[in-house]
Amino acid sequence: MMRRFKELLLAALLVVTLLVISSFATVSATKQTDEPPVAPTTASSDELPSMFEEDLGPATRDIPADTDAIIRAALAAFSHRAAAIPAVTVADAAPGNTIPPAAQPVYLPLVLGPPPLPVVVPPGATPAPEPPPPASVTAVLWPEPSIRAGRGATIAYEFRVYNDGRGDAGRTTITLPYNRNHVLPIGSRLDRSAGDWVSELTSSRLTVTFGKLGNGKMRSGIVYFQVNSGLPDNTVIDMRPEFTWSDERSGGSGRGNWAPVLVGGGNDTAAFVWLIVDPASAPASVSRTFFSDRFVPGEHVVTWLNTPGGVVGLPVANAADPSGRVWLTYRPDGLARGTYQLVAHGTRSRLTGVVSFVVR
């Protein structure tokens, strides 16, 4: 009798235990359903997305001997838009739309010393061979789109390398600092057969190495960046390359052009760099100041004029300062009333700025 009672008691306890477990599971499931989902763990800030790499194919070309094609392109754009050009041109997406005061030149004292002694070659001695000619490299960055990029869009940055020297450049290394809160590198298209490749990628800079570049040659390659989809309007994506090159002499280094892009609701691009004028509309007797900060530091910037009758050369030129800024002053004496364009062209970067002004 006692044995039977114990068996019944154990069975009852087992049933109660199962009911308690079932009830706890139900409550637990209900609680998990009511709680918000937990976000997955994100990658550390040092990790970068993998980049695709494509072969651009042969990308070395001769540097054009003149600017005829650029002149024709600028004139064609002017002729096409002449009827629709407003009296006052609105600047195209620059971080600042006012002309800063021109930088004051610094004059260093002239240090005079004794004249150098003449070099005397002893009779029968073999003259030392002339050193090999140096390379002279300029690196230019061109974004596409060049004015404004939509949130989440892709910007294709074209690296253009020019060798204007008499010697060959053995290797050119271009470093591009970037803000990973604004953009992230996602891919590249480079000429593998020429030895071009992305040689370094960190969370703050990207480096592209170009192989040998002959004198009078240029080569290009493309690196793609994706814009952060959470950026507010008018965020400035700030880009300026730095570069070094080697040759059979001592090589060299330099800074490229500033190539900012604004963030907005969509893409906007232009074939020319930003250039503004002040005043945009005035009588012919009033001097205009033209300004741009998009050229290569130290390069010579020349100008010409687009008119309804064609291209007119101008004796207006200046050198860009160490930041790539250039100021140009022009008084359009003798021009009839109407709309004209001043074209500013960098002789090393081959970048061209165009802005309209009105003579009234």
Q: Are 191 and 185 in contact (CB under 8 A)?
A: no
Q: Are 348 and 299 in contact (CB under 8 A)?
A: yes
110 lies in some domain: no
Residues 238 and 283 in one domain: no
Q: Are 212 and 168 in contact (CB under 8 A)?
A: yes
> Percent of the chain, pLDDT > 90?
66
pLDDT digits (tens, 9 = 90+) for 114-142: 666 676 667 776 777 888 999 999 999 99
Residues 246 and 329 in one domain: no
Residues 182 and 314 in one domain: no
Looking at residues 287-302, what average pLDDT do you find?
A: 97
Q: Closest Cα partner for 274 from 246, 289, 293, 298?
A: 293
189 lies in some domain: yes
**Residues facing residue 137 across a β-bridge:** 163
pLDDT number for residue 123: 74
257 lies in some domain: yes
pLDDT number for residue 317: 96
Q: In the predicted model, is pLDDT for residue 17 greater than 60?
A: no
pLDDT digits (tens, 9 = 90+) for 55-72: 999 999 999 765 566 666
302 band by pLDDT with thresholds 50, 70 and 90: very high
AA identity, residue 196: D
70 lies in some domain: no
List the structure tokens of 297. 């530091």
115 lies in some domain: no
pLDDT number for residue 97: 66
Residues 285 and 315 in one domain: yes
Residues 223 and 313 in one domain: no
Residues 249 and 292 in one domain: no
Residues 242 and 137 in one domain: yes
Residues 286 and 229 in one domain: no
Q: How far apart are CA 318 and CA 332, in angstroms?
A: 17
| 317-350: b (≥16 Cβ within 10 Å) or e | ebebbeebbbbbebebeeeeeebbbbbbbbbbbb
pLDDT digits (tens, 9 = 90+) for 99-116: 787 755 443 444 445 666
Q: Closest Cα partner for 302 from 353, 259, 254, 235?
A: 353
pLDDT digits (tens, 9 = 90+) for 254-267: 999 999 999 999 99
Domain boundary among 205, 229, 264: 264
Residues 210 and 245 in one domain: yes
325 band by pLDDT with thresholds 50, 70 and 90: very high
| 237-251: b (≥16 Cβ within 10 Å) or e | bebbbbbebbbeeeb
pLDDT number for residue 30: 36
225 lies in some domain: yes
pLDDT number for residue 43: 34
Asked if omega into 177 is within 30° of 0 (cis), the reply is no
Count: domains in the chain: 2
| Residue numbers of the domain that contains 142 | 52-64+133-264
Average pLDDT value for the chain: 82
pLDDT number for residue 28: 40
50 band by pLDDT with thresholds 50, 70 and 90: confident
Residues 59 and 160 in one domain: yes
pLDDT number for residue 100: 80
308 lies in some domain: yes
Residues 188 and 247 in one domain: yes
Q: How far apart are CA 130 and CA 228, in angstroms?
A: 53
Q: In the predicted model, is pLDDT for residue 191 greater than 60?
A: yes
Higher pLDDT, 314 or 125: 314
Q: How far apart are CA 360 and CA 285, in angstroms?
A: 10
Residues 283 and 138 in one domain: no
168: domain CATH number? 2.60.40.1530
Q: How far apart are CA 337 and CA 186, in angstroms?
A: 50
326 lies in some domain: yes
Higher pLDDT, 40 or 101: 101
pTM listed for this prediction: 0.76
306: domain CATH number? 2.60.40.1930
- Which residue do the tokens 């073999």 mark? 126
